[in-house]
Amino acid sequence: EADSLAFVPEIKPGPNIRRVGTTVEDFEQNLLSNLYFQRGTTIESASAGDAYHTLAVTLRDRLVDRYARTVAAHYETNPRFVYYLSAEYMLGRQLNQNLLYTGTEQWTREIAEARGLSMETLATLDVEPGLGNGGLGRLAACLLDSMATLDIPAVGYGIRYDYGIFKQTFQNGEQVERPDDWTFYGNPWEFAAPDDQHVVGFYGKTESANGDSMAGPRRWIPSETVRGEPSHMLVPGYGTQTVNIVRLWRARASRQSFDLARFGAGQYGEAVQHIALSESISKVLYPDDSTELGRELRLKQQYFLVSCSLRDIIRRFQFRNRDWDAFPDKVVIQLNDTHPVLAIPELMRLLVDEHQVDWDRAWSITQRTFAYTCHTLLPEALETWPVALMERLLPRHMEIIYLINHVFLRDLDMRHPGDLRLMRDLSLIQEEPERRVRMANLAVVGSHAVNGVAELHSRLLAETTLRDFASLWPEKFHNVTNGVTPRRFVRLANPRLSSLISAHLGGDGWLTDLDQLAGLEAFADDNAMRERWRDVKRLNKVDLAAYAARTTGVVLDPQAMCDVMIKRFHEYKRQLLKVLHVVTLYNRLRDDPAATVVPRTVVFAGKAAPGYRAAKLVMKLVNAVADTVNNDPRVAGALRVVFLPDYNVTRAELIVPSADLSEQISLAGKEASGTGNMKLALNGAVTIGTLDGANIEIRDRVGADNFFLFGYNAEQAMSARRSGYSARSFYDQDPELRAVLDAISGGVFSSGDRDAFASVVDSVLGWDEYLCLGDYRSYVDCQDTVERAWQDRERWTSMSIRNTARSGFFSSDRTVRDYCRGIWNVEPVRVPEE
Give the footprint of ligand Z57 on this chain (CB under 6 A).
133-136, 139, 289-290, 337, 375-376, 381, 453, 482, 671-675, 693
Nearer of residues 108 and 451 to ligand Z57, judged by Cβ: 451
Among residues 650, 675, 797, 804, the one annotated as catalytic is 675
Nearer of residues 652 and 672 to ligand Z57, judged by Cβ: 672
**Least distance from C-beta 135 to ligand Z57, angstroms?**
3
**Least distance from C-beta 258 to ligand Z57, angstroms?**
36
Q: Which residues contact 83 (CB under 8 A, 6 or more apart)?
A: 154, 155, 157, 309, 313, 331, 332, 333, 334
Nearest residue to ligand Z57 by CB is 135
**Least distance from C-beta 688 to ligand Z57, angstroms?**
17
**Least distance from C-beta 123 to ligand Z57, angstroms?**
26
**Least distance from C-beta 567 to ligand Z57, angstroms?**
9
Q: Which residues contact 780 (CB under 8 A, 6 or more apart)?
A: 580, 581, 584, 736
Buried b (16+ CB within 10 A) or exposed e, 83-108: bbbbbbbbbbbbbbbbbbbbebeebb
Nearer of residues 337 and 563 to ligand Z57, judged by Cβ: 337
376 is catalytic: no
Nearer of residues 640 and 651 to ligand Z57, judged by Cβ: 651
3 state SS of 832: coil
Among residues 679, 699, 701, 814, the one annotated as catalytic is 679
Evaluate whether 681 touches 695 at the Cβ level (below 8 Å): no
Among residues 567, 640, 670, 721, the one annotated as catalytic is 567
Among residues 457, 504, 568, 814, the one annotated as catalytic is 568
**Least distance from C-beta 375 to ligand Z57, angstroms?**
3
375 is catalytic: yes
Nearer of residues 139 and 625 to ligand Z57, judged by Cβ: 139
601 is catalytic: no
Burial of 793 (0-12, 13-18, 19+ CB in 10 A): exposed
Nearer of residues 100 and 165 to ligand Z57, judged by Cβ: 165
> Which of 793, 725, 803 has the alpha carbon at shortest distance from 765?
725
Please tell me the distance from the alpha carbon of residue 606 to that of residue 651, in angstroms, as a whole number.
10
Nearer of residues 141 and 805 to ligand Z57, judged by Cβ: 141
> Which of 436, 379, 708, 751 has the alpha carbon at shortest distance from 572?
379
3 state SS of 517: helix
567 is catalytic: yes
**Least distance from C-beta 482 to ligand Z57, angstroms?**
5
Cα–Cα separations (whole angstroms), residue 765 to 261, 439, 790? 63, 35, 32
Instruction: Please spell the DSSP secondary structure of 471-489, one letter per residue.
Output: HH-GGGEEE----B-HIII
Query: Which residue type sits at 512?
Result: T
Please tell me the distance from the alpha carbon of residue 215 to that of residue 509, in angstroms, as a whole number.
54
On the question of a cis peptide bond just before residue 832, with omega within 30 degrees of 0, the verdict is no
**Least distance from C-beta 164 to ligand Z57, angstroms?**
15
What's the full length of the chain, in residues? Answer: 834
Please tell me the distance from the alpha carbon of residue 143 to that of residue 483, in angstroms, as a whole number.
8
Please tell me the distance from the alpha carbon of residue 661 to that of residue 656, in angstroms, as a whole number.
10
**Least distance from C-beta 663 to ligand Z57, angstroms?**
15
Nearer of residues 197 and 666 to ligand Z57, judged by Cβ: 666
Among residues 300, 311, 375, 530, the one annotated as catalytic is 375
Query: What's the chain's Rg over C-alpha atoms?
Result: 27
Q: Which residues contact 247 (CB under 8 A, 6 or more apart)?
A: 155, 156, 157, 158, 230, 231, 232, 309, 312
Please tell me the distance from the alpha carbon of residue 674 to that of residue 672, in angstroms, as a whole number.
6
679 is catalytic: yes
Evaluate whether 283 touches 161 at the Cβ level (below 8 Å): yes
Q: Which residues are catalytic?
A: 375, 567-568, 573, 675, 679
